[in-house]
Structure 1
Amino acid sequence: MILAETLLFALALIDCGAILFLLIYYIITLSDLECDYLNAQECCEKLNYWLLPKYIAHSFITFLLLFHGQILLFMLNLPMFIWTTFEYFTVPRGNLGAYDPTEINNRGQLKKHLRDVMIYIGYYLIFFFIYLYSFILALLKGDPIRRGSDDDIVTEI
């Protein structure tokens, strides 16, 4: 084990929460573009800036789960890791990033991006609660209350 189990799940919980906040920012930015509060150039510049931190955050927790031996959680995180890797490294030639200002308003790209962000939010919300449950279980793994006889007085915590 590299880290204590409680620290592992605390990091996973913080990481997943940060990605959730980032995805809410994505939704707000895309909806601002849809309502014409932002132009396409500004919107895509803001969204492309946060692609690498999102990818790093998810890959960090995925590999941390692998190195810690949490194989089931690693296998559940692997499809999203593969998808974010695919999204980050397969930008079409000539585009500025995964979000391109010249194509975002064409052929329903905006709706597709909004749908993808909603799927991400659902995925990370489920994993937020899985990590929270695992964190609580890791905290309670030992016996937090010393259960001796009724006559014993516990003076240390």
Structure 2
Amino acid sequence: MILAETFLFFLALIDNGAILFLLVYYIITLSDLECDYLNAQECCDRLNYWLLPKYIAHSFITILLLLHGHVILFLFNLPMFIYLTFEYFTIPQGNLGAYDPAEIHNRGQLKKHLRDVMIYIGYYLLFFFIYLYCFILALLKGDPIRRASDDEIVTEI
């Protein structure tokens, strides 16, 4: 193992929380565009700037879960990893990024992007609580009170 299990799930919680904050920023930016508080160029520049960090953060935790042998959590993270990889590497030729200012108001792209971000938030919120549960289980693993000897409490970790 590379990291202790508690530290792995602590990193997963921090990583997942950062992605959740980023997705809230996406919602705020897209709703500002919808209400015409931002122009399309500024909105798309802001959103495209954070695409690569979101992809790196999710792939980091996915790879760490695989390296530590948490196969079930890895398999649950794999579809989002594949989708984010697909989204990042299949940007149409001529577009500035996944969010293109020339096309964001065409064919309901803005509604599609808002829907996708809401799905991402639901996914990452679910995994935030799963990682929190795993973190608490990793902290409680072992027996902090030695049951064989009376009244002796283990204080070292």
TM-score using structure 1 length: 0.95
Counterparts of 2:67 and 2:89, CA distance in 1: 24
Deviation at 1:145, TM superposition (A): 2.5
| Partner amino acid, structure 2, of 1:45 | D
Aligned to 2:152: 154
Matches within 5 A, 1:7-156: 7-148=7-148, 152-154=150-152
Deviation at 1:154, TM superposition (A): 3.0
Counterparts of 2:153 and 2:68, CA distance in 1: 35
C-alpha RMSD over aligned residues: 1.1
Counterparts of 1:53 and 1:82, CA distance in 2: 16
Greater mean deviation of Cα atoms: 137-146 or 46-55: 137-146
Counterparts of 2:85 and 2:41, CA distance in 1: 24
Counterparts of 1:28 and 1:146, CA distance in 2: 51
Which runs of 5 or more structure 1 residues have no equivalent in the other structure?
A: none
Deviation at 1:155, TM superposition (A): 6.5
Counterparts of 2:148 and 2:11, CA distance in 1: 34
Deviation at 1:27, TM superposition (A): 0.1
Counterparts of 1:67 and 1:148, CA distance in 2: 35
Q: Is the 8 A contact 2:145 2:153 kept in 1?
A: no
Counterparts of 2:153 and 2:96, CA distance in 1: 64
Counterparts of 1:155 and 1:57, CA distance in 2: 39
Deviation at 1:144, TM superposition (A): 1.9
How many residue pairs end up in the alignment?
Answer: 155
Q: Is the 8 A contact 2:144 2:154 kept in 1?
A: no
| Percent of aligned positions that are identical | 83
